[in-house]
Structure 1
Amino acid sequence: MRGQLQLSRVQAARTAAQFRPRQTFRLSQQVRHASTELKQEVARNEKVGDVRSGFTRIKNLLLGTSIVAVLGFGYLYVTDTRATFHQWLVPRVLRTLFADAEEAHKISNKTLKALYSVGLHPRERGNPDVNGDLKVDVFGHLLDNPIGTSAGLDKNADIPDVVLGFGAGIVEVGGITPHPQEGNPKPRVWRIPSQNALINRYGLNSEGADAVATRLRQRLREFAYALGLGLDPVAEKSVLDGHAGVPPGSQMPGRLLAVQIAKMKETPDNDIDAIAQDYVYCVNQLAKYADILVVNVSSPNTPGLRNLQQAAPLTKILTAVVDAANAADRKTKPAVMVKVSPDEDSEEQVSGICGAVWASGVDGIIVGNTTKKRPDALPTGYLLPQDEQSIMLETGGYSGPQLFERTVALVKKYRTALDKGPNETKPEPKKIESAPKQAEKSEFQLETEAMKEKIRSQLYAPSDKSQTAAPNSLDAETKSSIENSEKVIFATGGITNGKQALEVLNAGASVAMVYTAMVYGGAGTITRIKQEMRDEIRGVDVERLPATDARK
């Protein structure tokens, strides 16, 4: 029994020995098979990973490109004055957020200044003036267009380059007084939204001529440095003398910078010598940095200022200003204009102002300012809301679309009076002792006379084309007055669209200026008005467009 058991164990051991290599072989095969499958799985996963990685890269590329495109488009959009964002949204947001119109104005200017410092300010893109269809000759400068911005938008010359970037041919900063003054107590500006109008009694609040001159000088130095001329006085003088190839005020081709000056509120109204000294002080500080000096004798918010529009005191003041301007330390002297009130409009008053302009040697008149009167609402018969009726009772100057018809009538009246030439007997005003002697004819005038005559001969040469005046072209009477005139008129007051701009140009103005329209229409107002002008005159003979007149 025991022997059989041992035999069975031996046989079992032999059997196990026989099958062990086969089992090991099979296990090895299974391992190799599993390894192969693992490698294949890894390979498949790598391929899937590569595919997914490729898709991820493509997705990231598309996402990155989209972000860049959106940011790029967004940048171009928000910095383009043609954008609805500027012409519709921003003005309404400001009116909603800031009930005080002055505060809204201040915040707007600070924002624009900050945006300009990082290159994100709104500007006119696409160079719509490149075709030259709205060019106009003013004081020997060929401007890109006949649209200007009135003083008040940039009182202390904080953002002249920003406003120039809006596309206007002329930008006026100020008004600037000899020394700092606060102006009238706040609140001093009110909106009349239903009329797109304003009432203000700022009272010529200003940082003073010294502060503004410092700011404009720094701007000039930075411009000279950017041109590689350096920062020394020689570089400044080079730009001032026109060697940079651009007007020294605007520092841009086809544009001019006007600087408005005014007297101190505290200067006695009956001391004409002291008043003249106020203006001369401003000229001495600011003339170098201006292409045009504007003498404000028409603000309704400075007591006694409008009395200076009488012929005798006005002649004396303007003569002093012209003499001081001609003594400015630069090769080409700034032109001088006087800004008159829309309320002094009798024949005697207009004749007296024009006589003072001729007698003093002033180069032109800005016709219009805010009015003390309260025009009827538009449309005719419209009843103002109760809150706006209350605002209409506020003391101050009114501005808005309701002034337009009055502006056109005044432009025609001044154009006619100026075209009659100087009075037969010129008053001889007593010149203040500090004013330098007026030059008989400035070097600037001599240099530009030939060019003006050439432009006139080209613009008004006989044409084979029909001479029938189109609705928006210059009529024969206006064209004749332009040929014979020597004094320039800028029109301001109620101009809100391109058709109205053309109308004041046809009435005898060289430039149409806006202010309140920009408060309600935003940074895109200038671009819009110019496009509306083009739409109005489309198809009209280019030689007879209002924008191509050749006034001095």
Structure 2
Amino acid sequence: MDQDHLNNAARKTWKFGRLRSLFIVTAGATAVVAGLTAYKKQEQMFRTFVMPVVRLLPAETSHHLAVLACKYRMCPVSQYQDDINLHTPFFGRLLSNPIGIAAGFDKNAEAVSGLRDLGFGFIEVGTVTPVAQEGNPKPRVFRLSNDRAIINRYGFNSEGHQAVLQRLRLLRSREDFNGVVGVNLGRNKSTMSPIADYVQGVRVFGPVADYLVINVSSPNTKGLRDMQNKDKLAELLEQVNNARSGLDTNKKVPIFLKLSPDLSLDDMKDIVWVIKRKQSPVDGLIVSNTTVSRKNVESNELASQEGGLSGPPLKARSTEMIAQMYELTGGKIPIIGVGGVASGYDAYEKIEAGASYVQVYTALVYEGPNLVADIKAELSSLITQLGHTSVQDVVGTNSKFYLPKK
């Protein structure tokens, strides 16, 4: 090999080294700048850059990425300080605010700490089934972007009781975590004994949950909504209460019943009859799950997809149903209101209709993590502007306004 060839080879090696160094320095500088930007202008970054990119991905892929971001605590930590008028009692606990994340986002309790970072007052995980199952075939999640809505037919995809239990036990063992966490319970698709699945859920998660949810209202598991039938529901809740009474610890863990927005008034009256029975009470209601109705989205090309619709098209119906259940129960059973909440004003409507607490999910998909602080700030301002001093002061104050017009 001649000298010129060696010199050329050396020059190429040197140039490659310089380019490599330049790349490393540039990448490092970019990371630093991005880090500073993220630290100083988290809201602008997420709304301007991150969320538009995320919405280009398939809906279920975006969901998984969002869970991972919360799991590894990569989302911005909320800097919003909850005003005292947002502080809300919850079965012997005090929530910093009444805004929670609805079940369906963190199905397997992977992202609880990250969700807490976003400023949620309480977190609901699940739906969890006794045995791991895949759920329905993909694709099973669809964005109706023009309506800011989602149709999903996940079908209780779950890692099962034991995987979720281990994560919650680890979470409870940490000295730095004192958040309120509920567990949403479901049944396996192929179960031979649906009631036994819920009973098992109570026994497994009763000791580690701040509340439990009996979910018999998802439209995506065949036959599930039939369990809202008066006789079946009475039997289910009676056995659920017996299982709670048999717990070694946390015997008074609150039990919520999650309802479908597609119930008729007669159905709701039957449910109220059941939950007022001494043998089958519940401590609270969640109103409501997703809807099979396509009212308000008929012209959307995705409206024909099977599954439950969530987001703004559900908002009016869920608020109406909150008012109905508040009136039917005489305001004596706490309600978690969910369905189409995308602002503090939406949350306020749910509360004055009769909800003591409010959950968010779909709007988070479109607005990003800063939505939580925005909702709380607006809600706090409305409470003060309208002459109240706390969330409790507002609950049910205008329930009759939201009742169906005769």
Q: TM-score range by the shorter chain?
A: 0.7 to 0.9
**Alignment partner, residue 464 of structure 1:** none
Unaligned runs of 5+ in 2: 1-28, 397-406
Please report how far the alpha carbon of residue 329 of structure 1 lies from its aligned counterpart in structure 2 after TM superposition: 3.3
| 1:493 aligned onto 2:404 | no
The alignment partner of 1:523 has SS state of: coil
| Equivalent position to 1:258, from 182, 195, 207 | 182
Specify which of 124, 149, 156 is matched with residue 197 of structure 1. 149
Counterpart selection for 2:77 from 123, 127, 130: 123
Q: How does 1:467-546 map to 2 (within 5 A)?
A: 481=331, 485=332, 487-543=333-389, 545-546=390-391
Cα RMSD over matched residues? 2.4
The percentage of counterpart residues that share the same residue type is 36
1:373 matched residue in structure 2: 293
On the 8 A contact 2:207/2:250 being kept in 1, the answer is: no
Aligned residues: 366
How far the C-alpha of 1:72 sits from its partner, in A, is 7.5
Equivalent residues in 2 for 1:269-288 (5 A)?
A: 274-288=193-207
**Deviation per residue, 1:274-310 (Å, 9 max, x gap):** 2111011112221221101001000000000001001
Distance change >3 Å, CA 125–CA 354, structure 1 → 2: same
Q: Give 1:174 deviation, angstroms.
A: 0.2
Give the secondary structure class of the aligned counterpart of 1:288.
Answer: coil
1:548 positional shift: 4.7
TM-score (norm 2): 0.84
Quick one: which amino acid aligns to residue 323 of structure 1? N
Q: Which residue is 1:415 aligned to?
A: 326
**Relative to structure 1, is the Cα distance of residues 86 and 67 closer, same or farther in structure 2, using a 3 angstrom cutoff?**
closer
Task: After TM superposition, give the deviation of residue 73 of structure 1 in Å.
Answer: 4.4
Q: Does 1:308 align with 2:227?
A: yes
Paired residue secondary structure (2:206): helix
Is 1:136 aligned to residue 47 of structure 2?
no
1:331-362, Cα deviation, whole Å (9 max, x unpaired): 56321001010001x22200111122222121
**Structure 2 CA distance for aligned equivalents of residues 547 and 90 of structure 1:** 36
Give a deviation string over 1:225-273, Cα, whole Å, max 9, x none: x6xxxxxxxxxxxxxxxxxxxxxxxx42xx42111000111125xxxxx
For residue 306 of structure 2, the aligned residue among 395, 403, 424 is 395
Per the alignment, in what secondary structure is the counterpart of residue 290 of structure 1? coil
Distance 1:494 1:550, change over 3 A: closer
Q: Would you say 1:290 and 2:188 are equivalent positions? A: no
Q: CA deviation at 1:418?
A: 0.9
Inter-partner Cα distance in structure 1 for 2:319 and 2:35: 44
The answer to whether the aligner puts 1:112 opposite 2:67 as a matched pair is: no
Aligned to 2:40: 77
Amino acid at match of 2:98: P
Alignment of 1:183-262 (within 5 A): 183-221=135-173, 223-224=174-175, 251-252=177-178, 255-262=179-186
Show CA shifts across 1:33-84 (max 9, x none): xxxxxxxxxxxxxxxxxxxxxxxxxxxxxxxxx9999687445336x5xx12
**C-alpha distance in 2 between matches for 1:396 and 1:205:** 14
SS of residue matched to 2:123: strand
Matched, 1:362 2:282: yes
* In structure 1, distance between residues paired with 2:285 and 2:168: 24
Q: Secondary structure at the match of 2:85?
A: coil
Indicate how the Cα distance of structure 1 residues 266 and 70 shifts in structure 2: closer, same or farther if over 3 A, else same: closer
Measure the CA separation in 1 of the matches of 2:49 and 2:37. 15
Structure ID, larger Rg:
1
1:546 Cα deviation from its structure 2 partner: 3.3
Per residue, is there more helix in 1 or in 2?
1
Query: Taking structure 1 as reference, are residues 75 and 409 closer, same or farther at Cα in structure 2, changes over 3 Å only?
Result: closer
> Could you tell me which residue of structure 1 aligns to residue 52 of structure 2?
92
Whole-Å Cα distance in 2 between the matches of residues 152 and 202 of structure 1?
A: 9
Query: Among residues 330, 333, 336, which one is paired with 2:255 in the alignment?
Result: 336
Structure-2 change in CA distance of 1:93 and 1:69 (3 Å): closer
Conserved in 1, the CA contact under 8 Å of 2:99 and 2:120? yes
Work out the CA distance in 1 between the residues paired with 2:116 and 2:316: 28
Which of 315, 329, 336 is residue 404 of structure 1 equivalent to? Answer: 315
Tell me the equivalent position of 1:176.
128
1:298 is paired with a residue whose SS is coil
Task: Give distance in 2, aligned partners of 1:395 and 1:514.
Answer: 22
Distance in 1, Cα, partners of 2:113 & 2:78: 12
How many angstroms does 1:494 deviate by? 1.2
Task: Give yes or no for contact 1:148–1:514 (8 Å, CA) kept in 2.
Answer: yes
Which letter maps to 1:293?
L
The answer to whether the Cα contact below 8 Å between 2:100 and 2:122 also exists between their aligned partners in 1 is: yes
Q: 1:111 to 1:136 in 2, by over 3 A?
A: closer
Residue 236 of structure 2 is matched in structure 1 by: 317
- Rounded to whole Å, the distance in 1 between the matches of 2:47 and 2:203 is 38
3-state SS of paired residue (1:133): helix
Name the CA shift for 1:72/1:204 in 2 (closer, same or farther; >3 Å). closer
Contact 1:138 1:510 in 2 (8 A): no
Once the 2 structures are TM-superposed, how far is the Cα of residue 326 of structure 1 from its aligned partner? 3.4
CA 1:514–1:331 in structure 2 vs 1: closer, same or farther (change >3 Å)?
A: closer
Shift of 1:87: 3.9
Q: Deviations over 1:426-453 (max 9, x none)?
A: xxxxxxxxxxxxxxxxxxxxxxxxxxxx
The equivalent of 1:349 in structure 2 is 267
Change beyond 3 A, Cα 1:348–1:91: same
Q: Is the CA contact (8 Å cut-off) linking 1:276 and 1:317 kept in structure 2?
A: yes
For 2:261 and 2:287, locate their aligned partners in 1 and report how far apart those are by CA, in whole Å. 7
Q: Could you tell me which amino acid in structure 2 is paired with residue 392 of structure 1?
A: A
1:178 and 1:137 map into 2 onto residues whose CA distance is 31
TM-score by length of 1: 0.63
Per the alignment, in what secondary structure is the counterpart of residue 84 of structure 2? coil
